[in-house]
Amino acid sequence: MRDKDNITERQGNKCWKCGDPAVIHRKYEGKSWCSEHFTEQFESLVKGTIRENDLFESDDKVCVALSGGMDSSALLFFLSDLFKDWRNADLFALAIDEGIEDYRDESIEIAEELCRDLGVDLHIASFKEAFGKTLDEIMEDKEYGCTYCGVLRRWLLNRKSRELGATKLATGHNMDDELQSIFMNYLRGNMNRMVRLGAKPAVLDNEKFIPRVKPFRDTPEREIALYGRLRGIDLHQTECPYVDNSLRFDVRDFLNDMEAKRPSTKYTSLRAFDKLLPALQNMFSGDDSSVKECDFCGEITSGDICKTCQLREKI
Amino acid sequence: MSIKVIHGKKEHTVDDDSTTVEGVLDRIGVNPETVIVEMEDEIVSLGKAVVDGDKLNLINVVSGG
Ligand code: SF4
Ligand SMILES: [Zn+2]
Ligand SMILES: [Zn+2]
């Protein structure tokens, strides 16, 4: 028998609380969990992130950025349950249709079905409507789809959620996304960008900016997928044809290898960053004063013309 | 001992002395951080024992866009 097989002998395959068959063995804490106790504990951890970071007010109007992928679908599921007890709060979903054939149309169908099941209003905003072209059309004579897609999508999410009256924009960003961003910013020397990280990134002092919140930010991607699966959410497995995240993927694979070899690497790295974050925020706190409104579209920007309007010129 | 593994469009057969799901993943070079494993439509943990003839279905959890 090799080392990798020893887990059964050491820790068993039973929930440490009730003895039922386990659905997960978390090496970083040395415990196995059955579906019921994992789900219960997962939800209580996310509630902890929400409480500790004051992510929501009791009268918030929360817009969930829903892609139809597992993270945002599981987030909508979780929040729709949580908000049942919040009488003055409101929840709705916003999906961005970039116009990517055989990819986004499938995930939007999943989003529509989920919203129907949960009784949550879904709004869809498309690139075609906002910018006159789908991403497929934009990419006919261009490279690096993610550059266009990311900038245009952020712009549209902010504008549309504001038009719909949102006071918060909740995204499905998870622990893995957050760590990848931390390491990528570090590798690129973009220390000032790190102040935008955290469960409740620093709010820009402008009423046009809808504050972002990330309730799953302290939760590993794999556990969100497991939670979603146990809650009966469809997992959209198709990969975007334009995906070009070479550095992000290198960092992702590095972190997953480290976690497999040295369990708890992800937690330790995130907690270390959390200790650094206040110092980084202090160091770069002057940067917000440069927030202006774009000469063309009126959305917030650090220069005279926002990135979206600069890209619009080229599409 | 022979274990069949379905991983998206790929299919593997593991013929050796693996005794757990984690051991099988190691043999086929799949990082356990990147998948959820099902056996007979039930999600199982990495510590689940495997026996001859078992069939594992791997679901990718890492995002790609
Ligand atoms: S992978 Fe890139 S192009 Fe595709 S949806 Fe994501 S950001 Fe957009
Ligand atoms: Zn249990
Ligand atoms: Zn603009």
* Set of chain B residues whose Cβ sits within 8 Å of the Cβ of A177: 63
Does residue B46 sit at the A interface (CB-CB below 8 Å)? yes
Helix (H) or strand (E) holding A129: helix A127-131
Alpha-carbon span A307 to A303, nearest angstrom: 9
Give the pair of three-digit tokens for residue A281: 């925020």
Alpha-carbon span A150 to A169, nearest angstrom: 16
Alpha-carbon span A74 to A19, nearest angstrom: 27
Residue B30 inside a domain? The answer is: yes
Interacting residues of B58 by C-beta distance below 8 A, sequence separation 6+:
B5, B6, B7, B8, B25, B30, B35, B36, B37, B38
* Set of chain B residues whose Cβ sits within 8 Å of the Cβ of A5: 18-20, 22-23
B13, β-bridge pairs: B4
Residue B65 inside a domain? The answer is: no
> What is the least distance, in Å, from the CA of B19 to any CA of chain A?
6
CATH of the domain at B56: 3.10.20.30
CB contact under 8 A, A7 and B22: yes
* Set of chain A residues whose Cβ sits within 8 Å of the Cβ of B31: 253, 256-257, 260
Interacting residues of A131 by C-beta distance below 8 A, sequence separation 6+:
A138, A152, A312, A315
CA torsion through residues A245, A202, A156, A213, sign: positive
Atom 7, ligand 1: residue with shortest CA distance: A146
Alpha-carbon span A16 to A82, nearest angstrom: 27
In this structure, the strands spanning B10-14 and A212-213 are unpaired
Planar angle of CA A177, A282, A294, nearest 5 degrees: 70
Residues with CB under 6 A from ligand 1: A 98, 145-146, 149-150, 240, 242-243; B 65
Residue B23 inside a domain? The answer is: yes
CB contact under 8 A, A22 and B47: yes
Residue B52 inside a domain? The answer is: yes
Question: Domain range holding B31?
Answer: 2-60
Domains of chain A: 51-288 (3.40.50.620)
pLDDT truncated to tens, each residue of chain A (315 aa)? 444 444 544 455 899 999 999 999 999 999 999 999 999 999 999 999 999 999 999 999 999 999 999 999 999 999 999 999 888 899 999 999 999 999 999 999 999 999 999 999 999 999 999 999 999 999 999 888 999 999 999 999 999 999 999 999 999 999 999 999 999 999 999 998 898 899 998 777 788 999 999 999 999 999 999 999 999 997 777 889 998 778 999 999 999 999 999 999 999 999 999 999 999 988 887 655 568 899 999 999 988 999 999 999 988
Listed by number, the residues of chain B in 14-43 with a beta carbon closer than 8 Å to a beta carbon of chain A are 17-20, 22-23, 25-26, 31-36, 42-43
Other Cβ atoms within 10 Å of A95 Cβ, number: 24
- The structural domain count of chain B equals 1
pLDDT attached to residue A9: 43
Tell me if ipTM is over 0.90. yes
CB contact under 8 A, A32 and B31: no
pTM of the model: 0.93
